[in-house]
Amino acid sequence: MQTPMPIVEIAGTGRFLPDNVVTNDDLAKRMDTSDEWIQTRTGIRERRIAPPELWAAQMGTEAARKAMEKAGVEPGEVDILIVSTATPDRWLPSTACDMQSLIGCDNALAFDLMAACTGHLYALTMAEGYIAAGRGEVALVVAAEKMSAIMDWDDRSTAVLFGDGAGAAVVRKADGSGRGILSSHHRSDGKLAELLYRPGGGAVEPLSQTVLDEGRHLLKMEGREIFKNAVRSMAEACDLALQKAGLTASDIDLLVPHQANIRIIEATAKYAGIPMDKVYVNVDRYGNMSSATVPIAFDEAIEQGRLGPGSTAMTVAFGAGLTWGAMTIRL
């Protein structure tokens, strides 16, 4: 199969991370865990935690401004703003609308997309479709996550895994040179929703004293089941994204996977046939920042020169829903 001609390209990327670093030892002071357990089981050494007054929309705005600067795009040129977040600042309006007003992209339509850790990949594909349909030429795709706000800080099995941050990408109509999104393969399976979810606080179980007392508004996860599904689904998504692009694993210069657990990353890379020296890893520094993980890793990889003009990247993610997906992108 021939490699398809991309419809859109990634014109610029950006990231924002809160300054506050929380180490495993810091967590071990407030719950029954240890640096040794966390590093061995997850690969995480530390994560960033945003202060209470910092909104996801503000983190996303910082990341978006950097991406727009690199792309040479002014706020008024943005046709569509898609914000993926599992931690909206408020239930209404969308975090995207708050971000639109901070950025000043007044000519855009703005909305949130909820696909948990796979959100950035889904959002890139939605932006691609919007541009392909001729509805606009410039999309701003932002992932902004304040996971610390939905964690149960008394549950050591989840509290040690997550962190806060935001990443962004400017997506623009491709210039015909072959640079851009080559392929994607995204799926979800709602039958497995309750492996990773927040049972209360929504319309089904509105916020009440009982919901608060029982912590039912906070994140719950069946870690082992999620682990197994993650490896299986991400491996399959990588295979299909490669196939759709007419590529093989040896064509990939860098795999940029979702960063939930180093053991999941290693298993996925092994299955995909990509050696670890071609895999970007920052889970040690940030933990799992849900959908912000992939765009932050992507931006760092570009900054470090591990991705540059002409290189071919594959990105893959997995999360609540369940949702998963993979994409191949030529820079």
Residues that bind ligand UT7 (CB under 6 A): 33, 37-38, 41-42, 117, 156-157, 160, 196, 223-224, 226-227, 230, 260-261, 264, 288, 318-319
Q: How many CB atoms lie within 10 A of CB 52?
A: 8
Which residue number places its CB atom closest to ligand UT7?
223
Quick one: which of 70, 50, 52 has its CA closest to 60? 50
Minimum distance between the CB of residue 162 and ligand UT7, rounded to whole angstroms?
A: 8
Tokens of 228: 């197994």
Query: For residue 241, what is the enclosing H or E element?
Result: helix 223-245
Minimum distance between the CB of residue 190 and ligand UT7, rounded to whole angstroms?
A: 16
Q: By the 8 A CB rule, do 155 and 33 touch?
A: no
Tokens of 326: 């993979």
Q: How many CB atoms lie within 10 A of CB 164?
A: 29
Minimum distance between the CB of residue 144 and ligand UT7, rounded to whole angstroms?
A: 16
Buried b (16+ CB within 10 A) or exposed e, 226-248: bbebbbebbbbbbbbbbebbebe
Q: Is the Cβ of residue 156 or residue 179 nearer to ligand UT7 in the bound state?
A: 156
Tokens of 312: 């071919």
Q: By the 8 A CB rule, do 252 and 307 touch?
A: no
Q: Is the Cβ of residue 130 or residue 318 nearer to ligand UT7 in the bound state?
A: 318
Tokens of 68: 């727009």
Q: Is the Cβ of residue 295 or residue 319 nearer to ligand UT7 in the bound state?
A: 319
User: Which residue shows structure tokens 């692009």?
Assistant: 245
Minimum distance between the CB of residue 309 and ligand UT7, rounded to whole angstroms?
A: 31
Q: Is the Cβ of residue 65 or residue 271 nearer to ligand UT7 in the bound state?
A: 271
Q: Phi and psi (nearest 5°) for 324?
A: -160, 165
Q: Is the Cβ of residue 101 or residue 153 nearer to ligand UT7 in the bound state?
A: 153
Q: Is the Cβ of residue 134 or residue 190 nearer to ligand UT7 in the bound state?
A: 190
Q: Are strands 109-113 and 80-84 parallel, antiparallel or unpaired?
A: parallel
Q: Is the Cβ of residue 27 or residue 331 nearer to ligand UT7 in the bound state?
A: 27
Q: By the 8 A CB rule, do 45 and 23 touch?
A: yes
Left (φ > 0), alpha (ψ -120 to 50) or beta: where does 196 sit?
Answer: beta
Measured CA to CA in angstroms, residue 175 lies from 87, 127, 172 at distances of: 35, 16, 9
Minimum distance between the CB of residue 71 and ligand UT7, rounded to whole angstroms?
A: 28
Minimum distance between the CB of residue 292 and ligand UT7, rounded to whole angstroms?
A: 11
The residues assigned a catalytic role are 117, 258, 288
Q: Are strands 138-146 and 180-188 parallel, antiparallel or unpaired?
A: unpaired
Minimum distance between the CB of residue 180 and ligand UT7, rounded to whole angstroms?
A: 27
